Amino acid sequence: MKKLIHKYKHAWVLSYFIVYMVWFYYLERTVTRNYHVIHIKLDDIIPFNEWFLIPYMLWFLYIFATVSYFFLTSRSDFYKVTAFLFIGMTICLIIYTIWPNGQDLRPNLNDLGRDNILIRIIAILYSTDTATNVCPSIHVLNSIGAAIAINKSEVLKKKKWLTAGANILTVLICMSTVFLKQHSAFDVIMGALLALVMYLVVYVWVTGKHTAKAKEKEILNLS
């Protein structure tokens, strides 16, 4: 048991989900009026398409599988991907708190002129997930973060089919947020920009510093 605890002692990082869920639930309950409506012209061009529910829902499995894989296989990659996701998500929550925002893009599903299982599930999604706290998009941020982690992994980046699949799924998830009218295109842009910032911080700056220190230590040991 002690060996198991020691091996997976980095599990403490996952306690962040408690903080995130409490904070996000609070915002969902309190940000119901007097919020900034996110809407740009591109939103009016993008049609509603219920088939994008599939990649949208795959997001949950995608993030869970990515974090779980690195948790079980590589502590350093696990710390990188969780730093990317959790710091980015915290920035999103701070933005939602000081700049309450939402969107008005959701169509009346009864007026679509068609009915299928996907639309019925979307109706449930609309009823349980508010149209607030949308910019930047956490769906977009986390999807890009997972793709970066997979592409940067020394083991996984050798599996071209896996990296290609992750990249395609990431693009589809980002697209799904606007085709389901869960987000404005502006939310996607801001989510992608935040992902770029997190990439530069976690995978360029911090990783670069650690690599430089490791090389310096290696040189000192050889001298």
Q: Is residue 4 part of a domain?
A: no
What is the structure's pLDDT at 33?
A: 87
Structure confidence by residue, pLDDT tens digits, 20-49: 999 999 999 999 889 999 999 999 999 999
Alpha-carbon gap, residue 106 to 95, rounded angstroms: 22
Structure confidence by residue, pLDDT tens digits, 107-146: 999 999 999 999 999 999 999 999 999 999 999 999 999 9
Q: Is residue 34 part of a domain?
A: no
Q: Is residue 18 part of a domain?
A: no
Q: Is residue 170 part of a domain?
A: yes
What's the average model confidence in pLDDT over 198-217?
75
What is the structure's pLDDT at 218?
A: 52
Q: Is residue 179 part of a domain?
A: yes
Q: Is residue 126 part of a domain?
A: yes
Structure confidence by residue, pLDDT tens digits, 77-116: 999 999 999 999 999 999 999 999 999 999 999 999 999 9
What's the average model confidence in pLDDT over 215-219?
54
User: What would the two tokens of residue 30 be?
Assistant: 């309190």
Q: Is residue 12 part of a domain?
A: no
- Tally of domains in the chain: 1
Alpha-carbon gap, residue 193 to 197, rounded angstroms: 6
Please state the pTM of the whole predicted model.
Answer: 0.91
Q: Is residue 24 part of a domain?
A: no
- Domain span at residue 63 reads 48-217
Alpha-carbon gap, residue 206 to 94, rounded angstroms: 23
- Distance (Å) of CA 38 to CA 18, 46, 126, 144, 190: 28, 15, 17, 22, 11
User: What would the two tokens of residue 10 be?
Assistant: 């980095």
pLDDT score of 212 more than 60:
no
Average pLDDT over all residues of the chain: 92
